Amino acid sequence: MVDITLLGTGGGMPTPYRFLSSLLINFKGRKILVDCGEGTQVSMKMAGTGFKAIDYILITHCHGDHIFGLPGLLQTIGNSGREEKITIIGPSGIREVMDGLMVTCKYLPYEIEIIENPTHSISIFDDDLIISTMEADHTAPCLGYSFYFKRSAKFDIKKAESNGVPKMLWNKLQKSEESIEHEGIVYTRDMVLGRGREGLKISLLTDSRPLDSMIDFYKDSDMLFCEGTYGDNGDIDKAVKNKHMTFAEAAAFAKNADCKKLCLTHFSVAMMEPKDYIENATSVFENTIIGEDRMEFSLKFPEEND
């Protein structure tokens, strides 16, 4: 299971009624924050997410509404007692921006590693999660992200017995070891494991135009978090000009990429009630949710209920 908290759903600038778009992924107690505009740490406090377990901070792009909360958050994480390294992943330019921001918080009790514009997927959390990026289409260098949570194969008791694996080795083989030698016989992991199980694909696209060339990257996402800066179909010209999307465009993109579910976020400051425009999305892609600050999702692996 993967837990996700939408910390904010606003774009442009922070307002009294909506935090800036940011989300927190919680996988087995380890956390990944995506984007950090001014106030994100306050929303985290309201959501009670804690600060210490954030291992990765992923930045889509270096516009203020996605990064100005970073110095404050990094200090608050420092005050939480964290001493382990934090890795920040971002687009071209992230290192220069971080060098600038860090002038204001020079003394953190942990190291910061920066990965600028990664060209390969990054495998983390003991290879349980693969983070991939692609180039989005915005007014600044911008990354789209996908998170593939792998699911280990299930223990198969019949297989273990038929392979004559001693019971005392079952747990060890399933959990961590590749192979174990016991009384002169080598037992391998596949002697106790059934077929591989499908993982979970969660993806995110903000801020960007929806290009056909991006569809492959987002294909078959179990859940897509996507910007929907403008709810009104009539705002299409603004969307094109400012390199954003309307609700209808995001919905069409989710449909074309065969996503299972779409959650819209990054709403324009001018749009007080994004829900007023939900039909512009659901008429194109039914399984659409309008994101709200501190909305929580518990996403299960496809076979988690087996």
- Active-site positions read 65
Chain position carrying tokens 């009630």? 273
Nearer to a second copy, 39 or 274 (CB): 39
Q: Supply 100's token pair.
A: 């600038």
Nearer to a second copy, 15 or 162 (CB): 15
The reply on whether position 109 binds a second copy by CB under 8 A is: no
Beta carbons within 8 Å of 148's beta carbon, 6+ residues apart:
129, 130, 132, 199, 200, 201
Nearer to a second copy, 79 or 283 (CB): 79
295-299 β-sheet, strand order? 112-116, 86-90, 54-58, 30-34, 22-27, 2-8, 295-299
Please, what is the minimum distance in Å from the beta carbon of residue 231 to a second copy? 21
Binding pattern for the stretch 14-53 against a second copy, x by CB under 8 A and - elsewhere: xxx---------------------xx-xx--xx-------
- Residue of the chain from 49, 54, 58, 71 that contacts a second copy (CB under 8 A): 71
Chain position carrying tokens 């991939």? 132
Q: How many residues bind a second copy (CB under 8 A)?
A: 29
Task: Give the phi and the psi of residue 256 in degrees, each rounded to 5.
Answer: -65, -30
d(CA 306, CA 251): 30
Nearer to a second copy, 81 or 166 (CB): 81
d(CA 285, CA 250): 9
Cα 226 off chain centre by = 11
The reply on whether position 272 binds a second copy by CB under 8 A is: no
Please, what is the minimum distance in Å from the beta carbon of residue 107 to a second copy? 11
Q: Please, what's the b/e burial string for 39-64 (b: 16 or more CB within 10 A of its CB; e: otherwise)?
A: bbbbbbeebebebeebbbbbbbbbbe
The reply on whether position 99 binds a second copy by CB under 8 A is: yes
Nearer to a second copy, 80 or 163 (CB): 80
The reply on whether position 177 binds a second copy by CB under 8 A is: no
Please, what is the minimum distance in Å from the beta carbon of residue 114 to a second copy? 14
Question: Which of these ranges, 63-71, 187-195, 220-228, 278-286, lies near a second copy under the rule CB under 8 A?
Answer: 63-71
Nearer to a second copy, 100 or 234 (CB): 100
The reply on whether position 69 binds a second copy by CB under 8 A is: yes
d(CA 41, CA 19): 10
Please, what is the minimum distance in Å from the beta carbon of residue 103 to a second copy? 3
Closest to 235 measured CA to CA, from 271, 210, 278: 271
The reply on whether position 80 binds a second copy by CB under 8 A is: no
d(CA 65, CA 76): 19
Please, what is the minimum distance in Å from the beta carbon of residue 38 to a second copy? 4
The reply on whether position 220 binds a second copy by CB under 8 A is: no
C-alpha dist (Å) from residue 99 to 104, 112, 289: 10, 11, 37
d(CA 2, CA 246): 28
The reply on whether position 101 binds a second copy by CB under 8 A is: yes
Binding site for a second copy (CB under 8 A): 13-16, 38-39, 41-42, 45-46, 62, 64, 67-69, 71-72, 75-76, 79, 96-97, 99-105
